[in-house]
Amino acid sequence: MMRCYAAACGAALLSLTNPANATPTPPEHSYAIVIGFNSARARGEVEASPLRYADDDAIAFYEFVAPISKQSYLLTVVDSETSRRIGSALPELRPPSLFELRSAVARIRQLLLDDRAGHVSSTVYFYYGGHGFTPEGREPELELQDAPLTRTLLYDEVLDQLPADHVHLMIDACHAESVVRPRDLDARSVAISDDDRASLATSATLARFPNVGAVMAASRDARTHEWDAYLGGVFTHELLSGLRGAADVNGDARIEYSELAAFLAAANRDVRDPRARLTPVTHAPTADPHATIVDLRSAANAFRLTVYGADSVVAQVEDDRGNRLADVHTERRFKVTLRLPPNRKIFVRSTALEAEIFALAGTEVAFSELPLRATSSRARGELELSLAHGLFATPFGPSYYRGFVDRQNDLVPVSIPDTDFVAPIPPDRDRAGSSNAQPMATWAMLGLAGALTAGAATFALVARQDKIDFDHTSIESEGVSDSNRFSRDTEIAAVFAGGAAISAAAAAYLFLSSRKSPRLGATVSGLVVQF
């Protein structure tokens, strides 16, 4: 009977551990519509200068989302600078027009209907980078090549036509929140009935679309910013940094809205100049507050860079095209794994040091094991100085996340282990004192060396007294006894002295090995970088 029970338990265990018998992961498809438009059409009532990096932002977001999407569309026109910089690596482009947007929506809609019929879950990413306007007497709108994308068009011809399980709306434009979710601060207050209020909420706000979440740029004056150091918009760079893994506060490789909101808040917290400081608006889908914006486990082909330090770590990643890929500033002992575009040369900077590596697809490389060289940085103007010194100045991790989410009534927090998400440091690779094992071993060896030295000295003194007794005795039997004691004590003193020498050598080895660089955990310019 016991044998049959054991066999049944073994079979059950095999069924759980055998991948062939495991419950298959439900299929899921992702789609993307990415728009970037630098220009602003001539308007009598509004003056707007052309942007420089809306096309670059769109390309950067497209390169992030396309590898994990079944179908994706990039609607932009690149300027000459971007064309020279990226060249043949440019993806397929379509004009950023309302006509092309409608065509992309129609094609993705059919794919979504096919997914629904096949019981396949689906996600749509909608990204816009460009100009946003709030013209007097008309709806807020986003600029396109042939006609503006008004709030009504966004709701009726985009969101309403995408029957996906989740739609993630991301907008980097001035007045972005006004276009997506109206909030007219200048309007006068009037009394309305409950029926009118419900009708307004369902028709003129995102409450109409419980499957839609939104992340939008905003600042004190409703303007967003571009920065030459990023070759792109500040908000889009922060957004991509978080989505690449920097916002993953609980280490499950799934970025939720509360994680991204907290990361964006930390990134902008220390920007002192109000003209440069962003206060991004994040709205999770009401039907699923825990909706995953991106599951980084699907990016199997990405290059992975793990940032982990016994102390807070600051790191920036840039590729050989000049694109700033990600910025991170971790809390102490908080692990971050970035997923970066593969098969290109990248530069990872920390403080005043830089490492260069080829980001091979599907691999993971430790920055601390690469040769480091000095690098230089520059900043110009008060606003640029404010960005340079303020962006990502606040460490992000479980502590900041908990404090941020506790103050937000509309964000549902993720589950974080009580011990926080940290990676253990292998004992044989602890080089920075982030673990006490090696320092304790060094002091133990020094203590043993001291004790053995004291023992050697004691027996040497005893042997010296034996020699004196032997020299002063005239009785043969006593002389033989003194001679034997002298030989014994001399040998014991020699053993103790040898042990002391070995212990001292071991202590010296442990001390010197802990200070080697650039091994894992090496201390460089006072900054501990552990990967």
**pLDDT of 171-219, one tens digit each?**
998 877 777 764 433 444 444 444 444 443 444 578 899 999 999 986 4
Which H or E run contains 385? Answer: helix 382-390
From 391, 237, 232, 248, select the one nearest 307 (Cα to Cα).
248
Residue 129 has pLDDT above 50, yes or no: yes
Least confident of 99-108, 141-150, 395-404: 395-404
Residue 148 has pLDDT above 90, yes or no: yes
Q: What is the pLDDT of residue 85?
A: 78
Least confident of 112-116, 275-279, 323-327: 275-279
SS (H, E, C) 396-446: ECHHHHHHHHHCCCCCCCCCCCCCCCCCCCCHHHCCCCCCCHHHHHHHHHH
User: What is 459-483 written as a DSSP string?
Assistant: HHHHHHHHHHHHHH---HHHHHHHH
- Find which of 106-110, 262-266, 432-436 is predicted with most confidence, using mean pLDDT: 106-110
Residue type, 363: T
The whole model's pTM is what? 0.68
- Find which of 220-229, 304-313, 325-334, 463-472 is predicted with most confidence, using mean pLDDT: 325-334
Q: Are 153 and 196 in contact (CB under 8 A)?
A: no
Residue type, 521: G
Least confident of 30-44, 109-123, 499-513: 499-513
Look at the alpha carbons of 61, 66, 68, 70 in this order and tell me if their dihedral is positive or negative: positive
Residue 3 has pLDDT above 70, yes or no: no
From 361, 350, 357, 301, select the one nearest 327 (Cα to Cα).
350
Distance CA 510, CA 439 (A): 8
Q: What is the pLDDT of residue 381?
A: 41
Least confident of 334-348, 437-451, 496-510: 437-451
**pLDDT of 4-20, one tens digit each?**
433 444 444 344 344 44
Residue 279 has pLDDT above 60, yes or no: yes
Q: Are 283 and 213 in contact (CB under 8 A)?
A: yes
More confident residue, 190 or 246: 246
More confident residue, 400 or 344: 344
Distance CA 483, CA 481 (A): 5
Distance CA 103, CA 95 (A): 11
Q: What is the pLDDT of residue 135?
A: 82
Q: Are 520 and 300 in contact (CB under 8 A)?
A: no
Domain boundary assignment for the chain: 26-184+194-299+381-413, 437-513
Q: What is the pLDDT of residue 118?
A: 95
CA dihedral angle for residue 157, residue 159, residue 160, residue 166, rounded to 10 degrees: 160
Least confident of 133-137, 147-151, 473-477: 473-477
- Predicted confidence band of residue 525 (pLDDT cuts 50, 70, 90): very low
Phi-psi region of 521 (alpha: psi -120 to 50; beta: other; left: phi over 0): left
Phi-psi region of 525 (alpha: psi -120 to 50; beta: other; left: phi over 0): left
Look at the alpha carbons of 7, 9, 12, 18 in this order and tell me if their dihedral is positive or negative: negative
Strands 212-216 and 166-173: parallel
Q: What is the pLDDT of residue 262?
A: 94
- The CATH class of 26-184+194-299+381-413 is alpha beta
**pLDDT of 337-369, one tens digit each?**
999 999 999 988 887 788 888 999 999 987 667
Give me the percent of the chain exceeding a pLDDT of 90: 35
Distance CA 221, CA 323 (A): 27
Q: What is the pLDDT of residue 413?
A: 85
